[in-house]
Amino acid sequence: MARRVAPLTALQISKTRPHPSRTIELVDGAVPGLRLRIAPSGGKSWSLAMRASGIMRRFDVGNGLGLGDARKKAQELRLAIKDGADPTADRRTARLKALSAVEGVGTFGSVIDAYFTIGNGAGLKTGKVQQKHLRSFFGSMLARPAIDLRSAEIQLAIDAHPAKVTAARAAGYIGPVIKWASKRDLMRGPFNLEKPITGAPHQRVLSEAELKKLLPTLDDAYGRCCLFLLLTAARRSEAANATWDQIDLKKKIWIIPGEGRKDTREQVRRKGKPKEALEIPLSEQALKVLKQQKHLLRARSENADDGHIGPEPFDRIFTTEQGGPLINWSRWLRGNAERGAVTGWSAHALRRTAATIAGDLGAPPHVISAMLGHSNIGGQLIAGYNKSRYREEHAALMQKIGNRIDRIMKSEVREANSLR
């Protein structure tokens, strides 16, 4: 009997360092055939090995994916292949369609597709997102010959869009496409597009009075995720995509793998240096949120008909009632504003609020920077010498923030009772 391979964990992946001369392959025991390849450069790519039409083949799952997303895509891919789909053939067909634009005949839509299929956009991590955004934004122009479009037409479409942020994003995405197409005589300029003025972003921080109103309303999956954000100062994507295998309840830490973290440093991205994993100490209040969430998930799985008792290590911590990811944040925020009468805030405002509370508690800037997961603590020059993450000070600060949130919640309860 073949020995079963153990499921991969996010911690195991984050601790696996690239080999200087060969590609490392890790096999996941949770999804049959799923493998992670780590190149000498540090790049990570997922693939799925399975039989299709009686032949063992390897199918691409994706690059730079977290463990949970890779498993989800691999499961979907397995089901599609079993139903007779051939993703490799589908990509080949899309490539052939895009080639028609390179030959000089094609629509604006085919030029966009060509850029993201065989052009400079093929290697972009956000390529599919950009392609989808452009096809939606310029939908009325997609069927027109690209060679006939002029700068003024595209600019007027950008200017006329009611959502300035959406229009600015489209202007930023279409610029490289037009530049690439112009060099191949697929579009003829000159093109000199402008982004609409969107104004400076409002750096929202919630006051203590607003927290008193908000905290009692954080009683569902989205709300508990928000409370966890406030207690950890993490980013929304990091908390919403967190899985149980990232949590060490004994050590009271949350380990966010490098591929699950945002990296805003352009220089590091150009060098292809992998982001390091981040350890976040968990306060007693944060642990309470996790234990409550695990209890709810277990109760939900016990009531299910499949006999499965969860959650599994690679399952997301915060999910909808149907077990799906938290993706409808805009709708939830609108509904929460009606309940709590606190408007104009986003999940990222909770990260700023946690940092502000830390400052009010007297935490020094370098400890707040460590809490926020910044790489260059104290600036690039100082960070080049001082590699400390101030773990003890970080842990003490998280507990102080947890205690402050507790006091705010209890004061709201006392005020509510006094009014009865």
Q: Report the predicted TM-score, pTM, of the whole model to 2 decimal places.
A: 0.57
Q: Is residue 199 domain-resident? A: no
CATH number at residue 74: 3.30.160.390
Domain boundary among 65, 85, 105: 85
Cα 250 from chain centroid? 27
Residues 359 and 260 in one domain: yes
End-to-end CA separation in angstroms for the chain: 68
DSSP for 136-198 reads: HHTGGGTTSBGGG--HHHHHHHHHH-S-HHHHHHHHHHHHHHHHHHHHTTSS-------PPP-
174 and 226, same domain (yes or no) = no
Each residue's pLDDT tens digit, 205-246:
999 999 999 999 999 999 999 999 999 999 999 999 999 999
Query: Which of 19, 50, 85 is the last residue in one of the domains?
Result: 85
Q: What percent of the chain has pLDDT over 70?
A: 83
Looking at the chain, the whole-number percentage of residues with pLDDT higher than 90 is 45
Whether 282 and 403 share a structural domain: yes
Residue 72: CB atoms within 10 A of its CB come to: 17
Label the pairing between strands 278-281 and 253-256.
antiparallel
Structural domain containing residue 364: 208-418
Rounded (10°) CA dihedral 259, 263, 268, 272: 30
Residue 145 and residue 105 share a domain: yes
Lowest-confidence segment of 54-63, 76-85, 93-102, 395-404 by average pLDDT: 93-102
Directed axis angle between helix 391-418 and helix 221-232, to 10°? 130
Residue 36, pLDDT score: 93
Express each pLDDT in 160-215 by its tens digit.
988 888 899 999 999 999 999 999 888 988 899 998 876 655 678 999 999 999 99
Asked if residue 112 and residue 57 are part of one domain, the reply reads no
Distance CA 263, CA 283 (A): 25
Q: What is the predicted pLDDT for the residue at 268?
A: 44
SS3 of 329, please? helix
